[in-house]
Structure 1
Amino acid sequence: MEVETFVKLKKMIDDADQLTQLRSLRDQFQLSIQHNEQMVHKDSIANWNFQINEVHDAFIAKTIALAELRMVGEGLGPPPTSYSYLLLGSAGRSEQTLASDQDSAMIYEDTDDAEASRHYYRTFASYAVSMLIELGYPPCDGKVQSNESLWCQTEAEWKAKLDHWYEDASWESIRYLLIVADARCIVGDDSLFSRVRTYYREGLAARPHILERMIENTVQHKMLLGVFGQFITDRYGEHVGSIDVKYGSYIPIVNSVRWLALDSGILQTSTLERMEGLQEDGVLTFQEYADYRDAFLQMLSLRLKAGYRIENGMYEGFSKLHPKRLDSDEIKRLKKNLRLGKELQRLVLKKFARLK
């Protein structure tokens, strides 16, 4: 799929005025690239990741626009205030695979009629989430999505919620703070989100102990490489012998880079951009940056190679990949990169020790 084809597809998405049209385009998009071997080649994976996420953004943004039109069509009117629709998780980091679930939130402007605004935006968010399900995006298992009351609130409520999470500092509150770190605005008033993001950053800067509390969440997932250089694979079940390429390679790098970025005050949400910022700030040497970037790109390619299935009309990604699907060079490179991932986690712990 050439760049020109991606551009044409995004134009078709923008021109669509029915959800059925979008679903047809989504299915065509998936079929056109699922067997394309270029996308798992290390020299092209960064561009493939960028293009795939541009397409996902286009699908999601258009669906939200159609949800807004649905509100008008049902007599509920246009948005009564400004709002910001946020993507979180892999979508917030611009790292969605061909099959990723929904992670989202909404911020809307405070008004005198709080109850009416609350009803409007939660209805709006419910439409957006259900329409995205129809488009093939599964709901979030952890209920981190805009139709949940915790994730659909006014600017003032969001700021109060952040204060509570900072003061509570429980495992769950820290998890929520880490989730918010990956947020970006996909539709709506970016300045509204920007104010909440600034409040988040200022709150973190004023509470250095929160970075310490984030360590346990950050390093909970280990790189799946044993002390003798062997892969740590599933021992039982349908995926016996497989590697968990999401939680045993990709997520440990994402988490480590995010913590270093928060420690350095870097605002970018994508892992690749965070790595660039860390190198520019001197946290990583150029060689470390190049090594970790290469490792991360292989993890992205393996997540794409792991593939997906269609379940109840939704695209659900696999996280398990059997080493037999990799050639000898890929296996050698993966073992090297898993060692680099361990090295990166040690760097985080070294920085953490400095805080104590």
Structure 2
Amino acid sequence: MDRTSGGAPLLSLDAVVIDTETTGLDPRKARVIELAGVRLSAGKLVAGESFRQLLRPAGQSIPAEATRIHGIDDAAVAGAPPFAGVWPRFNTFLGRALVIGHAVGFDLAVLKRECDLAGLPWIRPRTLDTRQLAQIAAPELAGYSLDELAAWLGVDVVDRHSALGDAITAARVFLALVPKLREHGIRTIAEAERACLALTSVLDDEARSGWIQAVEAPERADAERTLKRFDIYAYRHRNRDIMRMPPVFVASGISVHDALARLASERTSAVYVAPNAASGDVKAAEAGIVTERDVLRAIARFGAAALDLPVGEIMSRPLAAVSADAFVYRAIGRMNRLKTRHLGVIDEAGRVIGALSARDLLRLRAGEAISLGEEIDDAADAHALALAWAKLPRVAESLMTEGLSGRDIAEVISRELGALTGQAAVIAERIMRRRGRGDPPCGYAMIVLGSAGRGESLLAMDQDNAVIFERGEPDSEEDRWFAALGTHVADILHEVGVPYCRGGVMAKNAPWRGSVATWRDRIDHWITRSNPADLLSVDIFFDLRAVHGDGSLAVAVRQAAYAAAEGQVAFAKLLVEGISIPASLKLFGGIRTEGGRIDLKAAGLFGIVAAARAMAIRYHLMDRSTPARLAGVKALAHVSETDLDALVEAQGVFLDLILSQQIEDIAKGTPTTNAVSVKQLSPRNRDRLRAALQAVTAVDELTRNLLFKV
């Protein structure tokens, strides 16, 4: 990934932090006499990767007042090379990285002047200024010198007024600013640039002093960016669409000879090994695999005697697997990372239900976009997670460019949000162990709710997660352990770029974690409520999907929830009681906006989703996605196809337009919302939007009628 693109997270940047020492403070006259830089990689200061060079300013002496500041005099630079001999090496050190500096506009100005004097080409890098960023993070500070910021942030100052020392200090200041900027909603390069551009008085002062403006408008900085084309088959199809089923299982006790015979008869290159019998009801964690290559290696090692060995002695275990509901790009990425040619395909409960081989994927190619999933799964800490997660907007943009619908892309986003949450749980478990809390006290499932569960997430998401564990009462030892785990998960996701849920729907909060028994009691309690206020956020629980741990726990609780709600018309009606769709169309077809935008979630998307969910609960439809739920209602309730099909089409339009706007806003550093600029829509998309807004006017009446149909 290009880690200088606007969507790159500040948390995990690749950057070079620079500093110069000069003959004076006027950039129109000053000469550079020391040039230095240090490297940040994935948001961490890299020890030993630095650049420092004294420079000889030809034909100019260093003033005594300048020497008193940095200690560099004419004698110190007498044997140093001129700027022209150093700049090419420094440019190589910079590469394509983002450049950061303290008051970096001054550095840019003196470096450009040196290039002009030497007849060298000047190409300005993309830059951020710690001085400006600090004014955004803490506008109340009395001053913003490097010393003052270091003292405020608790950063040690190194060799003050040497270029290398100041570069190191500025790097540490930047890293300390990142979490403070996050508190102001600034997480990416583009968001930081957008915020800096709002410091108009600061920028004016710097311009009057002859500095180069430290930041450019995000859209200009990204103007030369090109998108790689890649095979979108892997994003259109799921593993269940191409897997071979049923998987071929053999018992672990049969001979290699018999297993080889099975390979031949089934015309396959691998068989799966069950622990006790050739059963198909086997979880991936219990299964093994034997391939043609495993047999050849055994024969090479043991000779003909290998054919008499139990197949369990040469199998690989545990079986590498991928979810049946995951997109094919996930399987490609996993094969690439594990250097394997075979994967099991599992259902929600972790049972092996199919097989995938490299042959099945031969027509597909892996690239950076496909590696997204595996980078999330392989991330060891929040920095690595943030680096992988930052790819998502670029992948979404590429998929949209390739012609995928917003609905298809939302499914990809949702799968990766689930994977991100699952990996946050893995990292949280490691933190718990390091802090002496040990392993999970019992089996558990981390689940996502709402749009992530339905497969309808876009790029302005926040957290919606919960935990189901095997046993333990509220406030028991088990509950307290999972409360701590949930807190770590929430903190990791927030740090990576998925903000805390404003409604508190997170496993760290007691209402959103519990044992299987606790969840059953909680569900029964929901069903008996008579006030909509008692059911805030309850509806999204019915979208739940397991993303880590024992998926069978989530399956059991979800089935219990739907069973408890079946036929409970009053409960389903309460879930839609608060739906209020504003009138978004004017008398003659104009579209009502606020500040030139219309919030399409409020204008109709929320109403469609909530109505489809309530009807699915009413009719005991276990589908998750909104289109599938509406299709199920249409089949069971014998309702007119026109009305429900119009809602499906309207949801698709809303997803298309919101996602397109979010991609554009991310590139510009504008906060992502569900509001779309109407003026920027093409005539065709305005017509589509009007039709969608007209369709949702019938949601309330249609829903109430269908909830009472038999």
In structure 2, the residue matched to 1:249 is: 604
- The structure 2 residue matched to 1:38, chosen from 385, 389, 400, is 400
Q: Is residue 623 of structure 2 the alignment partner of residue 268 of structure 1?
A: yes
TM-score calculated relative to the size of structure 1: 0.86
Structure-2 change in CA distance of 1:340 and 1:148 (3 Å): same
1:52-67 matched pairs, under 5 angstroms: 52-67=413-428
Moved more, 143-152 or 193-202: 193-202
Q: Is residue 17 of structure 2 the alignment partner of residue 17 of structure 1?
A: no
Shift of 1:223: 5.6
Structure-2 change in CA distance of 1:178 and 1:254 (3 Å): same
Return the letter of the residue paired with 1:341. V
Q: Is residue 653 of structure 2 the alignment partner of residue 298 of structure 1?
A: yes
Return the letter of the residue paired with 2:400. Q
Moved more, 205-214 or 129-138: 205-214
Q: Please tell me whether the aligned partners of residues 40 and 305 of structure 1 are also in contact (alpha carbons under 8 angstroms).
A: no
1:191-270 matched pairs, under 5 angstroms: 191-205=552-566, 207-217=568-578, 219-222=579-582, 224-234=584-594, 240-270=595-625
Structure-2 change in CA distance of 1:208 and 1:38 (3 Å): closer
Structure-2 change in CA distance of 1:319 and 1:114 (3 Å): closer
Return the letter of the residue paired with 1:252. G
Return the index of the structure with the highest Cα Rg.
Answer: 2
Q: Please tell me whether the aligned partners of residues 99 and 315 of structure 1 are also in contact (alpha carbons under 8 angstroms).
A: no
In structure 1, the residue matched to 2:352 is: none
Shift of 1:288: 4.8
Please give the per-residue CA displacement for 1:307-333, whole angstroms capped at 9, x wherever unaligned.
2778xxx99631222210101110011
Q: Please tell me whether the aligned partners of residues 40 and 301 of structure 1 are also in contact (alpha carbons under 8 angstroms).
A: no
Between Structure 1 and Structure 2, the one with more helix by share is 1
1-side partners of 2:671 and 2:478: how far apart?
Answer: 34
In structure 2, the residue matched to 1:80 is: 441
In structure 2, the residue matched to 1:97 is: 458
Three-state SS of the structure 1 residue aligned to 2:547 is strand
In structure 2, the residue matched to 1:26 is: 389
In structure 1, the residue matched to 2:14 is: none
Three-state SS of the structure 2 residue aligned to 1:66 is helix
Shift of 1:99: 2.8
Q: Please tell me whether the aligned partners of residues 505 and 537 of structure 2 are also in contact (alpha carbons under 8 angstroms).
A: no
2-side partners of 1:116 and 1:327: how far apart?
Answer: 58
Please give the per-residue CA displacement for 1:238-296, whole angstroms capped at 9, x wherever unaligned.
xx232111111211111121122222211122213323333444645555554333221
2-side partners of 1:162 and 1:10: how far apart?
Answer: 33
Q: Please tell me whether the aligned partners of residues 89 and 182 of structure 1 are also in contact (alpha carbons under 8 angstroms).
A: yes
Shift of 1:37: 8.0
Three-state SS of the structure 2 residue aligned to 1:325 is coil
1-side partners of 2:392 and 2:576: how far apart?
Answer: 39
Structure-2 change in CA distance of 1:327 and 1:40 (3 Å): farther
Structure-2 change in CA distance of 1:317 and 1:294 (3 Å): same
2-side partners of 1:293 and 1:113: how far apart?
Answer: 41
Q: Please tell me whether the aligned partners of residues 373 and 419 of structure 2 are also in contact (alpha carbons under 8 angstroms).
A: yes
Three-state SS of the structure 2 residue aligned to 1:105 is strand
Counting aligned pairs with the same residue, the percent is: 24
Moved over 6 A (4+): none
2-side partners of 1:340 and 1:45: how far apart?
Answer: 19
Shift of 1:14: 1.9
Q: Please tell me whether the aligned partners of residues 279 and 289 of structure 1 are also in contact (alpha carbons under 8 angstroms).
A: yes
Please give the per-residue CA displacement for 1:164-198, whole angstroms capped at 9, x wherever unaligned.
22223221223343122222222122221222222
Return the letter of the residue paired with 2:563. E
2-side partners of 1:68 and 1:333: how far apart?
Answer: 47
- How many residues are paired up? 344
2-side partners of 1:286 and 1:200: how far apart?
Answer: 28
Return the letter of the residue paired with 2:376. I
Please give the per-residue CA displacement for 1:48-96, whole angstroms capped at 9, x wherever unaligned.
2222222222222212111112212222111111112121122122211
1-side partners of 2:608 and 2:402: how far apart?
Answer: 18
Q: Please tell me whether the aligned partners of residues 223 and 249 of structure 1 are also in contact (alpha carbons under 8 angstroms).
A: no
In structure 1, the residue matched to 2:706 is: 351
Structure-2 change in CA distance of 1:173 and 1:183 (3 Å): farther
Structure-2 change in CA distance of 1:210 and 1:37 (3 Å): closer
In structure 2, the residue matched to 1:168 is: 529
2-side partners of 1:117 and 1:163: how far apart?
Answer: 22
2-side partners of 1:260 and 1:183: how far apart?
Answer: 16
Q: Which runs of 5+ in 2 are unaligned?
A: 1-228, 233-365
Shift of 1:7: 2.9
- The structure 2 residue matched to 1:131, chosen from 467, 492, 495, is 492
In structure 2, the residue matched to 1:237 is: none
Three-state SS of the structure 1 residue aligned to 2:467 is strand
Three-state SS of the structure 1 residue aligned to 2:391 is helix
Moved more, 272-281 or 254-263: 272-281
Three-state SS of the structure 1 residue aligned to 2:466 is strand
Structure-2 change in CA distance of 1:293 and 1:147 (3 Å): same
In structure 1, the residue matched to 2:544 is: 183
Q: Please tell me whether the aligned partners of residues 414 and 455 of structure 2 are also in contact (alpha carbons under 8 angstroms).
A: yes
2-side partners of 1:195 and 1:34: how far apart?
Answer: 33
Moved more, 283-292 or 327-336: 283-292
